[in-house]
Amino acid sequence: MTKLKKNLIVAAVLVAGFAAALGSYLLFSPDDRNSGGLDAQPAAEALPVRESSHRLTEPKKSELTIVEFLDFECEGCGAMYPVVEKLREEYGDRVTFVARYFPMPGHRNGELAARTAEAAARQGKFEEMYNKLFTTQKEWGESQDWKEDAFRGYANQLGLDMDRFDADLADPEVAGRVQDDQRDGLGLGVQGTPTFFVDGEMIRIPDSYEAFKALIDDRLSG
């Protein structure tokens, strides 16, 4: 093997690792964002959080709001999940944490997972399904097989009414709810997952729990 080939292989491995660490990003121009799975048009007045957005914490007196646009199939989102959970545990009485859907092109089950979470939300189990999808991501993520049966199994484990769950999963309004989040994300300049907003400002992805904690502490003391 030539030195050039070896260098190319090393470069390819580094790029793949970097992409996995950062999450999923659109690999086409903004004009093409609606192809390959992003069907939503940007919202006319995009907002980081809406009244209908799913709040993972609701402190009586919120001092800060952190919004994550996420894809349940995104490895980067999966890597940030325990970080967010630890931050929720520490700051849940002061910070509002919000989860918004942004399933990415190229993820076979990303949009289905979002609809699964939204169908669970209709029975008051959004947080439970949010946790379930992330803690089982390695079992179904990055698969080219359709994972509806697996997701139905999760719904059954959570004690959901399965007839209602199936109807909601197929309901165009549930798909529309996912697209509503996508529209806001596109309008706000979201191009990949995970993307975080802190009090309406998009931030760089912190590279560790300690870095994210320091950012929150700085904002809370400001």
122 confidence band (pLDDT: 50, 70, 90) = very high
How many Cβ atoms sit within 10 Å of the Cβ of residue 127?
A: 16
- Give the pTM: 0.83
User: Which domains are delineated in the chain?
Assistant: 50-216 (3.40.30.10)
Q: Is the pLDDT of residue 136 over 50?
A: yes
Question: What is d(CA 130, CA 204) in angstroms, rounded to the nearest whole number?
Answer: 23
> Scanning the structure block, which residue is given the tokens 């994210």?
212
Q: Is the pLDDT of residue 202 over 60?
A: yes
Q: Is the pLDDT of residue 183 over 90?
A: yes
Q: pLDDT of 46-75, one tens digit each? A: 999 999 999 999 999 999 999 999 999 999
